[in-house]
Amino acid sequence: MLSWKLHGDGKQIQPGEVVSIDERLSWPRTLGMGLQHIVAMFGATFLVPIITGFSPTTTLFFSGIGTILFIIITQNKLPSYLGSSFAFLAPVAAAKTSGGIPAALGGIVAAGVLLAVVGFIAKAAGTAWIDSLLPPVVTGTIVMVIGLNLAGAAKNDFMQGQRVGLITLLAIGLISAFFRGFLGRISIFAGLVIGYAVAALMGDVDFTGVEAASWVAMPSFTSPTFDSSAMLLFLPVVLVLIAENVGHVKAVAAMTGKNLDDQIGNALIADGAATTLAGLGGGSGTTTYAENIGVMAASRVYSTLAYIFAGVGAILLALSPKFGAVLSATPAGVKGGVTVALFGMIGVLGARIWIDGRVNFANPINLYIAASCLIIGISDMSWTRGDYTFSGIINATVLAVFGYQILNRIAKARGTGN
């Protein structure tokens, strides 16, 4: 299964040609493509642990392992890099308030297991039910709620260092405006680097942990604890991961001209397995990365071998605790500047899903679902029953998924559906 034939002479790609999934360039050039994939995923993968307080090197370690596992489970047919998913930010923050990082890890494990189960169902029953259960109005609403629900957390970090927070936020905007290529695509991480450097010059970075960290060592691993009330917080994330994986498979299929529908179930299983493994060891939950799709589109190299090299490279980078300590020392104000932009972008991504899916808001059901869920989620309307607290994100997700189905069935039965 893991075999690749040499494309042409292994050195050049002729006009109109692509390096297919089961092909490779020469070993040095394939290694170079692997390094390019590492650079593409780098910023987003590290932002999640920096924001959540997870170990950056542990997250990178499981990101590399997860990517290799993904290629194997999808039978070497689906090129993809698995990096940290922003969808986990809100439930991780909520779970940490009661049970710390171990409770958050338990929720990540639960989400991974459930995603894998969905993958097995998709392999057995097909994927038409996914499109029916998660139309664009529902997925767009859930994504927007996950992003904007975090506005309070962004404000809290920003207020702890308003000067460097503002510098970071402005740097992100200016980089986005001045640069259209790769640097423009990593404006969030580039802005973080600038904010970090300014904070260091101002003496606002505590380098004690950096000085104490070893240059080479295994990442630190943390075991999860399983609290059912904390695990409930992660249910909405599964729906987002389903939509992201299905979208990724369809995007790669469109780029390569191959029908990859038979790999949707495997992709969900693979991402579920990678997320579960990460949660068991202290890493962030994973998802397929759009950033790396851009690398494939620009290079016309779709070889899965490049992703295996990227996964191995990520594992090797993760073996430097000093590197992780530098990232962990990011000041709160810098994180605040980053999260103001990032969390807002996640929210706007929900609106983009509505636009791409041509959601009709003249339909009163679509309008009601989106409007009600946004208020419930953003204001964090929660309720408690016994030992269980249902957060605003959970309640908004339940209303979006089940409310949409119920109301549409009622409208169709009454002959008023649009």
Neighbours of 160 (CB within 10 A): 15
Given a contact cutoff of 8 angstroms between Cβ atoms, the answer to whether 27 and 14 are in contact is no
Q: What is the pLDDT of residue 417?
A: 59
DSSP state of 301: B
Q: What is the pLDDT of residue 100?
A: 92
Q: What is the pLDDT of residue 327?
A: 80
- The backbone torsions φ and ψ at residue 8, rounded to the nearest 5 degrees and listed phi first, read 55, -130
pLDDT digits (tens), the chain, 418 positions: 678 899 888 888 888 788 888 888 899 888 888 887 887 787 678 778 888 889 989 999 999 999 999 999 998 989 989 988 888 888 898 889 888 999 999 999 999 999 999 999 999 988 888 888 888 899 889 888 878 887 888 898 899 989 999 999 999 999 988 887 667 767 888 888 899 999 999 988 888 888 888 888 899 899 999 988 889 889 888 988 888 888 788 878 877 778 888 899 999 999 999 999 999 999 999 988 766 776 787 678 889 999 999 999 999 989 988 888 888 888 889 989 988 888 888 788 888 889 988 999 999 999 999 999 999 989 888 777 766 667 788 888 889 999 999 999 998 888 765 5
Q: What is the pLDDT of residue 416?
A: 63
Strands (E), 64-221: 82-84
Cα–Cα distance measured from residue 224 to residue 228, given in angstroms and rounded to the nearest whole number: 12
Q: What is the pLDDT of residue 159?
A: 93
Give the bridge partners for 245, in sequence order: none
Query: β-strands 383-385, 388-390: how paired?
Result: antiparallel
Which residue, 375, 371, 377, is CA-closest to 397? 377
DSSP line for 231-287: HHTTHHHHHHHHHHHHHHHHHHHHHHT---GGGHHHHHHHHHHHHHHHHHHTPPPEE
Q: What is the pLDDT of residue 166?
A: 95
Q: What is the pLDDT of residue 221?
A: 93
Cα–Cα distance measured from residue 293 to residue 83, given in angstroms and rounded to the nearest whole number: 13
Q: What is the pLDDT of residue 211?
A: 86
Which residue bears the tokens 């679902």? Answer: 369
Question: Residue 134 — left, alpha, or beta (φ > 0 → left; ψ -120 to 50 → alpha)?
Answer: beta
Cα–Cα distance measured from residue 370 to residue 382, given in angstroms and rounded to the nearest whole number: 18
Cα–Cα distance measured from residue 135 to residue 24, given in angstroms and rounded to the nearest whole number: 37
Cα–Cα distance measured from residue 282 to residue 23, given in angstroms and rounded to the nearest whole number: 35
Cα–Cα distance measured from residue 4 to residue 309, given in angstroms and rounded to the nearest whole number: 13
Euclidean distance between the first and final Cα of the chain, in Å?
48
Q: What is the pLDDT of residue 388?
A: 63
